[in-house]
Structure 1
Amino acid sequence: MTKPKVLISDKMDPNAARIFEERGCEVDVITGKTPEELKATIGQYDGLAIRSSTKVTADILEAADNLKVIGRAGIGVDNVDIPAASAKGVVVMNTPFGNSITTAEHAIALIMALARQIPAANARTQAGEWPKSDFMGVEVTGKVLGLIGAGNIGAIVASRALGLRMKVVAYDPFLTPERAIELGVEKVDLGELLERADFITLHTPLTDETRNILSRERLAQTKPGVRIVNCARGGLVDEAALKDMLESGHVAGAALDVFAQEPAKDSPLFGAPNFICTPHLGASTTEAQVNVALQVAEQMSDYLVDGGVTNALNMPSLSAEEAPKLKPYMALAENLGSLVGQLAHGDLPKISVETEGAAADLNQKPIVGAVLAGLMKRYSQSVNMVNAPYLAKERGIEVREIRNSQRGVYQTLVRVTVATSQGDRSVAGTLFGNGQPRLVEIFGIGIEAELAGEMLYIVNDDVPGFIGRVGSLMGEHGINIGTFHLGRRATGGEAVMLLSVDQKIPQDVIEAACALDGVKVVRGLSF
């Protein structure tokens, strides 16, 4: 078996390469490539491990014919074109927890530096002055810290601030009341946070919703004398407005580790009073750099070798422990999606994926993703679990997920139903004791079959002699039949036949089968 091949294109801890090799990957460490050089070589790699220097553009992804995963050692993925990667079927991962403590500690350090004006006092003291009377700081004890974003890093900042005896109020649309109690913070809306906070620190990603979340208007709503810290992403604060607020004294101090444009060479904030800045050092500790490098290597190896998906930004997570259990279900789900996609006519506005029994206890997202991967092959052959949901969304397909933990006839079952112009069409499958996927129902007719290779699907009237006529037809055209699977609604009613054959069914054979008496539908299938 060929080993997956990974390129590490940015500087990172050398132990990352060791982990890739120990996990069964072949790895090249080649840093400093130009975009043209990366584009010329990316086609030979299954994985690309990066930090912030490598820019993975749509142009580079277009040349990445074998690429399966991009791993960012760190949180921000501004340097990866995620929509283009998703359309290409490439998983994009980051390591959101490897530098969480480091970034949170940097935020706390900047809070303390603002409170006691440490950088300015240091500079003037080293310049030979003794400006003791010019620096009157404030205590943080008893002050209100306004937390914008209470995710992983924000939660760590909250715990450290509580240890400093600060009172923490938090604004985060995703923060539940139960989680707020667990963190020891008070959940408030943004307006209340701006009015009450003595210090404000930001810990959100940069999205359309959060861009300039501290706009000029919102900065004007803050408490006079507020101090603001941003160690998250550039663009969360209106920098020009913040400068004006610093000069007017409404904002008593600000500390930024990130800027809207980086490297920041000429920010309007430079030279503003009571302003502190650092060059995006939030993740810059020895421990963090080692952690994110090791984590990205582990995550990428899990995906390339075992199929595990962790911290992916464009597909459901699937741990390496879950992957072996889910693998046969995903194979079943993809075949069912492919089957219904090949048999259904016209547009498919809705699809539902229902699991019963043991299947209902599993992680549903990978199962649904596998169904979509099979279904969307009717539109594109370059489709997988990553880009299938995007292709479905582009086509306006509504996807429903249904769990039914009660067992029916089968101990475990996956059912796929699509809405068509002729009404709903449903197929269902199960796993045999050896984990082998089996079709057990097609459009309401019970039938047991393995979906694999080339097959012929026939709907016909249930009459004597029909099976023999089909067998004779295949023999006349030199087509060998591997297996024969039959099902019917009732004696003399509608019947279904599934044949596995050793070659793709030619169109003239399909037409000849259509001409047989009692035939209603004939389709060649491929799995």
Structure 2
Amino acid sequence: MAPKVLVSDKLSETAVQIFRDRGVEVDFEPGLGKDKDRLLEVIGQYDGLAIRSATKVTEKILAAADNLKVIGRAGIGVDNVDIPAASKKGVIVMNTPFGNSVTTAEHAIAMMFAVARQLPEASTSTHDGKWEKNRFMGVELFNKTLGVIGAGNIGGIVCDRALGLHMKVIAYDPFLSEERAKAMGVTKVELDELLARADFITLHVPLTDKTRNILSADNIAKAKRGVRIINCARGGLVDEAALAEALKSGHVAGAAFDVFETEPATASPLFHLPNVVVTPHLGAATTEAQENVALQVAEQMSDYLLTGAVQNALNMPSVTAEEAAVMGPWLKLAQHLGAFAGQMTDEPVKAINILYDGTVAKMNLEALNCGAIAGIMKATNPDVNMVSAPVVARERGIQISTTHQEKGGVFDGYMKLTVVTGKRERSIAGTVFSDGKPRFIQIKGINIDAEIGAHMLYTTNEDVPGIIGTLGHTLGDAGVNIANFTLGRAGQGGDAIALLYLDEAPKVEVLRALEATGKFSQVKPLVFDVA
């Protein structure tokens, strides 16, 4: 029997036809998503549900969806889907994260043109019957230096378009390799150099703890005088108040913003300033982008329903239900190993090597690979999932290798993850105990036995007396409780490590206090998703 899909929001007829052409039965009822009672009544008939933003897929809807296997969201945001409830029900949730990349990149280029030539202000002035030809003196883009912060999917397209305009393109991206930068035709630089050299700066990074206010007051002050700043990525990447002051002082010549720290943005320090172009989050607002995501979701859902292939899944890897029951703890371990390596790595990753030993070597290694890679990439891009992570890794030129072997250690099975950068190799190994709980068993070649918690603290030091006391007293004085304390050393008097499982995240003051003792060569807080 052919699988059956309900399209409950407005998708193009072309997307609907893709289902039919692929042999999927489809009911196209674009207004049904707004009728909760009717959706609840019929959802049990369908294997797939294709939606935009109008349909709300609640826990109640999912409870009635006895045959539902996949939900496809035409677009990126899935706030209208209860993903935990879908996961519990065994329903895959897909989105289309790359369907609007060109559109968003083009909007950034358009905003750059607009601020370079003061087009909005000139248009308003001319509409008002003024002929202020001498007032609006712009600058050319030709031969100017464009600084791109974030050279991933969208940032890479912006780089390509800017090179076509004969701009000089420099890029800051900690995970951009020299080889990848060379292939793109851009020069990889550190942030301070980008700030000092760029005539235009455009941002294309997700909003994380590391990128929030990446253009802070201090960094804006480091920028070249007369710079123009474009943000079509995420609100919160730029200190809007500090930028407003820099615009008023003339240090920054112009700005173009499509995104704001608070949205809908009814007020901002940037509003009503001269040579500031603002738009209401229009990055993905083109007919082509909306068509692209509709076509993509139809293709993705058809692939899954007909062949089992999974693309852009947000909540589970491409494994069978039988595999998932056995692999669950190992998949969590793979993610934890990746998360550790990702949070510890601040340099471009060149290669990721994964060793599987014993019982785990007989499992679905592709899914486990995806979990480990996603754990690494999530440190800088929280939107990455287990399906898109390998794609992102390939785009960055990262080499992935896997080795599997028969039982060769004291454990029935274990995984060892090694991340290779231009400067070093960092390895971490783990296993799953009989209680189903993942454990770290080796870091930097030093054997340990560490339970994994949501909040952890990793330190390195010389093997000298007093380390346990220093950690205990400093954390205790700050009211931070230690749930588990693991130590390891390479040898007496040599390199040593400590991994502490804490009840809460240590505050910056605590980390600084530990660093101030002079006993530690590294003090690093870590966060793990243990849910």
TM-score by length of 2: 0.58
Displacement of 1:98: 2.3
Structure 1 position 420 matched with structure 2 position 421: no
- Cα deviation, 1:169-196, whole Å, max 9, x if unaligned, reads 1122221121111111122222332232
Q: Does the CA-based 8 Å contact 1:353-1:368 persist in structure 2?
A: no
Aligned counterparts, 1:150-299, within 5 A: 150-299=151-300
Q: Does the CA-based 8 Å contact 1:72-1:94 persist in structure 2?
A: yes
Aligned counterparts, 1:485-496, within 5 A: none
- Cα deviation, 1:276-317, whole Å, max 9, x if unaligned, reads 12233222333222221101111122123321111223444x
Aligned counterparts, 1:394-413, within 5 A: 403-404=403-404
Q: Give the equivalent residue in structure 2 for 1:27.
A: 27
Would the alpha carbon gap of residues 183 and 338 (structure 1) be closer, same or farther in structure 2, given more than 3 Å must change? closer
Q: Give the equivalent residue in structure 1 for 2:507.
A: none
Q: Give the equivalent residue in structure 2 for 1:100.
A: 101
Q: Does the CA-based 8 Å contact 2:414-2:432 persist in structure 1?
A: no
Separation in 2, partners of 1:38, 1:224: 60
Structure 1 position 120 matched with structure 2 position 121: yes
296-305 or 205-214, larger mean C-alpha shift: 205-214
Partner SS for 2:134: helix
User: One-letter code of the match for 1:277?
Assistant: V
Separation in 2, partners of 1:62, 1:267: 43
17-26 or 80-89, larger mean C-alpha shift: 80-89
Q: Give the equivalent residue in structure 2 for 1:397.
A: none
Would the alpha carbon gap of residues 415 and 262 (structure 1) be closer, same or farther in structure 2, given more than 3 Å must change? closer
Q: Does the CA-based 8 Å contact 1:42-1:60 persist in structure 2?
A: no
* 5+ long unaligned stretches in structure 1: 319-326, 341-351, 370-384, 387-400, 409-413, 425-527
Would the alpha carbon gap of residues 188 and 69 (structure 1) be closer, same or farther in structure 2, given more than 3 Å must change? farther
Would the alpha carbon gap of residues 238 and 8 (structure 1) be closer, same or farther in structure 2, given more than 3 Å must change? farther
Q: Does the CA-based 8 Å contact 2:62-2:85 persist in structure 1?
A: yes
Displacement of 1:131: 0.6
Q: Does the CA-based 8 Å contact 2:170-2:187 persist in structure 1?
A: yes
Separation in 1, partners of 2:209, 2:81: 17
Displacement of 1:163: 1.6
Q: Does the CA-based 8 Å contact 2:357-2:405 persist in structure 1?
A: no
Separation in 2, partners of 1:244, 1:62: 53
Displacement of 1:155: 0.7
- Cα deviation, 1:188-212, whole Å, max 9, x if unaligned, reads 2223322322111111223343333
Q: Does the CA-based 8 Å contact 1:69-1:93 persist in structure 2?
A: yes
| RMSD of Structure 2 on Structure 1 (CA) | 4.2
User: One-letter code of the match for 2:226?
Assistant: G
Separation in 1, partners of 2:329, 2:159: 51
Q: Does the CA-based 8 Å contact 1:355-1:403 persist in structure 2?
A: no
Aligned counterparts, 1:479-518, within 5 A: none
40-49 or 121-130, larger mean C-alpha shift: 40-49
Q: Does the CA-based 8 Å contact 1:149-1:172 persist in structure 2?
A: yes
- Cα deviation, 1:221-268, whole Å, max 9, x if unaligned, reads 322221111222333333333333323322211112223343333344
Q: Does the CA-based 8 Å contact 1:355-1:402 persist in structure 2?
A: no
Separation in 1, partners of 2:273, 2:222: 20
Q: Give the equivalent residue in structure 2 for 1:364.
A: 366
Q: Does the CA-based 8 Å contact 1:4-1:46 persist in structure 2?
A: yes
User: One-letter code of the match for 2:238?
Assistant: V
Separation in 2, partners of 1:156, 1:337: 37
Q: Does the CA-based 8 Å contact 2:148-2:171 persist in structure 1?
A: yes
- Cα deviation, 1:100-156, whole Å, max 9, x if unaligned, reads 222212211111111111111121112211111111111112222111111111111
Separation in 1, partners of 2:110, 2:135: 21
Partner SS for 2:169: strand
Displacement of 1:332: 7.3
Q: Does the CA-based 8 Å contact 1:20-1:26 persist in structure 2?
A: yes
Separation in 2, partners of 1:35, 1:206: 34
Separation in 2, partners of 1:419, 1:149: 40
Would the alpha carbon gap of residues 251 and 339 (structure 1) be closer, same or farther in structure 2, given more than 3 Å must change? closer
- Cα deviation, 1:341-383, whole Å, max 9, x if unaligned, reads xxxxxxxxxxx96589x979x86216998xxxxxxxxxxxxxx
Q: Figure out how many residues of one structure are paired with residues of the other and give that number.
A: 365
Would the alpha carbon gap of residues 47 and 253 (structure 1) be closer, same or farther in structure 2, given more than 3 Å must change? farther
Between the aligned residues of both structures, percent identity stands at: 59
User: One-letter code of the match for 1:117?
Assistant: Q
Separation in 1, partners of 2:37, 2:243: 41
Displacement of 1:402: 6.7
Would the alpha carbon gap of residues 335 and 57 (structure 1) be closer, same or farther in structure 2, given more than 3 Å must change? closer
Q: Give the equivalent residue in structure 1 for 2:337.
A: none
Q: Does the CA-based 8 Å contact 1:146-1:198 persist in structure 2?
A: yes
User: One-letter code of the match for 1:203?
Assistant: H
Would the alpha carbon gap of residues 255 and 337 (structure 1) be closer, same or farther in structure 2, given more than 3 Å must change? closer
Would the alpha carbon gap of residues 404 and 204 (structure 1) be closer, same or farther in structure 2, given more than 3 Å must change? same
Would the alpha carbon gap of residues 338 and 223 (structure 1) be closer, same or farther in structure 2, given more than 3 Å must change? closer
Q: Does the CA-based 8 Å contact 1:35-1:60 persist in structure 2?
A: no
Q: Does the CA-based 8 Å contact 1:72-1:296 persist in structure 2?
A: yes
Separation in 2, partners of 1:337, 1:8: 34
Q: Does the CA-based 8 Å contact 1:333-1:367 persist in structure 2?
A: no
Separation in 2, partners of 1:179, 1:334: 35
Q: Give the equivalent residue in structure 2 for 1:321.
A: none
Aligned counterparts, 1:456-495, within 5 A: none
Aligned counterparts, 1:367-378, within 5 A: none
Separation in 2, partners of 1:421, 1:13: 50
Separation in 2, partners of 1:16, 1:332: 32
| Structure with larger Rg | 1
User: One-letter code of the match for 1:273?
Assistant: P
User: One-letter code of the match for 1:365?
Assistant: A
204-213 or 182-191, larger mean C-alpha shift: 204-213
Q: Give the equivalent residue in structure 1 for 2:138.
A: 137
Partner SS for 2:282: coil
Q: Does the CA-based 8 Å contact 1:25-1:301 persist in structure 2?
A: no
Structure 1 position 12 matched with structure 2 position 14: no
Would the alpha carbon gap of residues 15 and 131 (structure 1) be closer, same or farther in structure 2, given more than 3 Å must change? same
Q: Give the equivalent residue in structure 2 for 1:392.
A: none
* 5+ long unaligned stretches in structure 2: 331-354, 372-384, 387-400, 416-430, 439-531
Q: Does the CA-based 8 Å contact 2:215-2:237 persist in structure 1?
A: yes
- Cα deviation, 1:407-456, whole Å, max 9, x if unaligned, reads x9xxxxx999853389x9xxxxxxxxxxxxxxxxxxxxxxxxxxxxxxxx
Q: Does the CA-based 8 Å contact 2:143-2:166 persist in structure 1?
A: yes
Separation in 2, partners of 1:277, 1:71: 32
Partner SS for 2:106: helix
Separation in 2, partners of 1:284, 1:368: 31
